[in-house]
Amino acid sequence: MCGTCGCSDQEGGVTIRRPGDPDHIHHHQHSDGGHDHGSHSHGHGSHSHGHGSHSHNHGSHSHGHDHHHDEGQPAGHTHHDAGREIRVEQDILSRNNLLAERNRGYLEAKNITGLNFVSSPGAGKTTLLELTIRTLKADLDFYVIEGDQQSMNDADRIDATGVPVIQINTGSGCHLDASMVNRGLRQLDPASGSILLIENVGNLVCPALFDLGEHRTIVIISVTEGDDKPVKYPTIFRNADICIVNKIDLLPYVSFDVAKTREYAQRINPHLQFFETSATTGEGMEEWYEWLKAERTNSRS
């Protein structure tokens, strides 16, 4: 769980800013998603549609540890502490998922399509979003939430495309959570009938555990990474709806087997849909655009 990697450290706060905002405003402490943001609580209990990819039922964490403290054992090495860590982990995910359902209800009430993009750093998420927005913004209404530990770099790039964007800096955190997205939605206030693009923090591990209230999860890998990514990071591929293999223009220069990646990923998730793209050259992007337009049409209906 991400407590071991330092992202639950309260020292590094979370900031939510628009491009051009002063550095000192909108400061928030990192939360575990337990806040009750009433403005997005629309009572949409019926909107829990059982999206398997977003259920995050982490049964593997429930090891049934005996919580009795063994006499003579150091406190740091007992089953009691291990059990407490598991309980805290489950509590954090449970609170997060409750708020994620509120986010999902808010988006559905406004007929907004929410997409969560997850990848390792440098896979080309921002470049893909830039090209997608520039190509389709005349036909589709986009709003963007950018997630990074620090800097406004990606939000500034998206801002240059002319669509509304906010930057969530997570400080020491390694992922966005439903609480951060809830606050971000309040500030961004996306229009009804729009598409919300959420670019998560570059990381294939912790973002896989945290439902944000999105309708689809999209994992992006690049051919400059290993083709065994699905084997090494199965959770995100199990939870994703779409896998984009990006930077295919570099295939002649790297050792990457696209067919092998597909095979590995579809062993984990047989329903995973694939796109092969180059966000630099535009190769393969048309198929991705058609999927995005169809997804928006399906959301309207």
Residue type present at position 238: R
User: Domain spans of the chain?
Assistant: 12-32+95-300
Per-residue CA distances from 228 to 186, 212, 219, 222, 253 (Å): 39, 26, 14, 12, 18
Residue pLDDT, tens place only, 153-210: 999 999 999 999 999 999 888 999 999 999 999 999 999 999 999 999 999 999 999 9
12-32+95-300: which CATH topology? Rossmann fold (3.40.50)
Phi and psi at 209, nearest 5°, equal: -90, -15
Q: Residue 244: name the closest of 208, 203, 276 by CA.
A: 276
Model confidence over 199-248: pLDDT tens digits? Answer: 999 999 999 999 999 999 999 999 999 999 999 999 999 999 999 999 99
